[in-house]
Each structure stands twice: as structure tokens, then as C-alpha cells.
Amino acid sequence: MPVSARMKRTPNCVGICIDEDKNCFRGRVYSCFSKEPQTFSDINELFYIVDSVMDALSFPAIKTKNRTFKKTEAEFTPATIDVENKVLGADELIPADVSKGFVLMVTSRDNVTWQGIIYDKTKDEEFNFNSEVELIRLLK
């Protein structure tokens, strides 16, 4: 079963390729708007990259903003994306040579967490998740 028709229609899908998940969590993220992947070296960078894609698209809308009392500088800066030029489809987000790959579609960002669907290439199945914690379990 390839990615669903719903994922093919939505531009906020990203491909996640896990290169290492034993000692650390490393891999690459592909978006529909660039043929070049962005690399991440831990789960925080992965979430930051995916969040930046959703923020650039303004979809799905954030329902609740995090509040902080001090300014913090991000150590990791994701690549900027051009949301006008879609270059990859959802079914092209995982390269053929990747053994552990996922297509992630976040459908909503409620209560400062993500809800959505993830397609697992190795199991050839889609799973729903209701939080980032559930998403991490599905990625491992």
C-alpha cells in the first residue's frame, strides 16, 4: 500500500529517513519544496525542521502558542523553503534506497502538540498519532 491519496493532495507532508536510531537519532528530512534533504542529529532538530515547514506553509494552524519568559536563541537553523515551487510529490519523499523511511503528515497542532498520520515504508502501513510522544514511538 503506497501513501494514501489524502497525503498526495496535502503539501505539508515530509519524508523522514532514519539513518541511525541506536545511540542517537540521526537522519534526513525531505519536503515537497526541495530535492535536497535537511539533516538532523537528534529528535529536537527533527521536530524543529518539520515545524519550520508547517510554519512556512501556515498549515496546519497553531491553536496554542508556547509562552516563554526569556529569549532563547535556536542553535539549529532549518533551511528556508520556497512554498510556491513544489518539486516532489508525497510518494517521492522517501528515496528508494532507504531502509527505514516514513512520510509524515501533521493534520493539526492542538494543545501545543501534533496530531496526524505517518506512513511507515518498511511495514507498508499508515498509523495515526495524537502527540509527539506517540510519533517518537512510531519512528523507533
What residue spans of the chain are helical by DSSP H? 5-9, 43-57, 132-139
Question: Domain for residue 78, yes or no?
Answer: no
Contact, 101 vs 94, CB < 8 A? yes
Residue 71 lies in a domain: no
Per-residue pLDDT at 137: 94
- pLDDT per 10-residue tile (average), the chain, 140 residues: 80 92 89 92 92 89 68 69 85 90 93 91 94 93
User: How high is the pLDDT of residue 71?
Assistant: 58
Q: What letter would DSSP give residue 61? A: P
pTM score? 0.86
Structural domain includes residue 77: no
**Amino acid in position 126:** E
Look up residue 94 and give its three cell numbers: 522517501
14 is a domain residue: yes
Number of domains in the chain: 1
CA 45 to chain centre: 11
Measured CA to CA, the distance from residue 84 to residue 68 in angstroms comes to 32
Domain that holds residue 23: 5-64+84-139
Residue 74: all three cell numbers together: 535556536
- What's the pLDDT score for residue 74? 61
Residue 120 domain-assigned (yes or no): yes
Strand ranges for 6-139 from DSSP E: 13-20, 26-31, 38-40, 101-108, 115-120, 125-129
Query: Is residue 111 included in any domain, yes or no?
Result: yes
What is the C-alpha separation between 67 and 65, in angstroms, rounded?
Answer: 6
